[in-house]
Amino acid sequence: MSICYLNGSYQTKFDARISIQDRGFNFSDGVYEVMSFSNTKVINFQKHINRLNLSLKELKIHYPFKNTKTLKLILNKLIKLNKLNHGFLYLQITRGSASRNHLFPKITSPNIVIFTFNTKIDDKHIIDGVKVNLTSDKRWSRCDIKSISLLPNVLEKQNASENGYYESWQIRNNYITEGSTSNAFIINKKNEIQTHPANNFILGGVTRDSVIEVAKRLDLKIREKAFTACDIDTCKEAFLTSTTVRILPVVKIQKNKINNGKPGLITRKLMSEYNDFINSQINGKY
């Protein structure tokens, strides 16, 4: 039976209960993180904590743990209780439970839910790459906050899937911002790795950040500047990143084949180097 963490105690997922007045449930008033772990090591842990802190601060929700070490102990215990070697952690913090009122409640404490989950990345996606649709970005202008309010993302991901695509890349004011569940990259005609800057119009992905770090080590040129659909027409390669899939080659964007419909060499190099980067964290080098 899978064990989760709920407000200070470890319970089976079956037993865990949350109030119908939880503000996450009523207002999407909360934030989340998805982290991966291997050999009980949480990958890119500090980057996830930094983003969690930013999201909480922006929503004026108090950091509910004594310190980062406390949270790390909780995560490690949860991984141990679930007897898992590798997988993912979902952590959600809402403002708390209170009678329904848009105004922040005067007295309440955050509701914390953490559980583990597993998802198998389709080998075909890693080897052959994926297809991406282009759609308009219908989200608010604080996409940098990892808010649990994900309706536009859910609708876009579903729309992509129903139309035979793996992901939707969203367009705001002519520029591709990011995917519905991942960050978007191209290798432009100057051989630069180009992606939207980490501002309020995208979620600053932890994988995005780490891939940029890895690319710099490989002496690859990075251009954090938004690109357009026209830039896609002339790009050499494309890929997407997220914690759950790491890096996936993008081989077709709408009707446009990228690199003749094959994952590109730079993308392959980054995938392999990123796997090494993660393995060194697991083996304790980072």
- Indicate which residues carry an active-site annotation: 146
Output the CA–CA distances (angstroms, integers) from residue 251 to 30, 89, 137, 284, in the order listed: 35, 29, 22, 34
DSSP one-letter code for 97? B
Count of CB atoms situated within 10 Å of the CB of 63: 15
Task: Say whether residue 113 binds ligand PDD (CB under 6 A).
Answer: no
Number of residues that bind ligand PDD (CB under 6 A): 15
Task: Say whether residue 241 binds ligand PDD (CB under 6 A).
Answer: yes
Count of CB atoms situated within 10 Å of the CB of 194: 22
Closer to ligand PDD by CB, 98 or 167: give it.
167
Closer to ligand PDD by CB, 55 or 153: give it.
153
What gap in Å lies between CA 241 and CA 181, rounded to an integer?
Answer: 9
By the 8 A CB rule, do 247 and 241 touch? yes
Q: Which of 153, 188, 195, 259 binds ligand PDD (CB under 6 A)?
A: 153
Please identify, among the stretches 54-62, 94-102, 213-221, 239-247, the one whose residues bind ligand PDD according to the rule CB under 6 A. Answer: 239-247
**Interface map 187-226 toward ligand PDD (x if CB under 6 A):** ----------------x-xxxx------------------
CB of 203 to ligand PDD, least distance (A): 4
CB of 51 to ligand PDD, least distance (A): 7
Closer to ligand PDD by CB, 144 or 231: give it.
144
User: What is the Cβ-side half-sphere exposure of residue 156, based on CA atoms within 13 angstroms?
Assistant: 22
Angle 179-52-71 (CA atoms, 0-180°, nearest 5)?
130
What gap in Å lies between CA 275 and CA 284, rounded to an integer?
Answer: 14
Closer to ligand PDD by CB, 129 or 205: give it.
205
CA 160 to chain centre: 18
CB of 99 to ligand PDD, least distance (A): 29
Q: Which of 183, 188, 195, 259 binds ligand PDD (CB under 6 A)?
A: 183
Alpha helix locations (H) across 67-150? 68-81, 123-128
Closer to ligand PDD by CB, 108 or 149: give it.
149
Q: Which residues make beta-bridge pairs with 176?
A: 171, 227
Task: Say whether residue 49 binds ligand PDD (CB under 6 A).
Answer: no
What gap in Å lies between CA 213 and CA 281, rounded to an integer?
Answer: 14
- Per CB under 6 A, contacts with ligand PDD among 52-91 are none
CB of 48 to ligand PDD, least distance (A): 7
Which residues, including other chains, have CB under 8 Å from residue 14's CB and lie 6 or more apart?
A: 1
Q: Which of 109, 244, 272, 283 binds ligand PDD (CB under 6 A)?
A: 244
Give me the residues that bind ligand PDD (CB under 6 A), please: 34, 153, 178, 181-183, 203, 205-208, 241-244
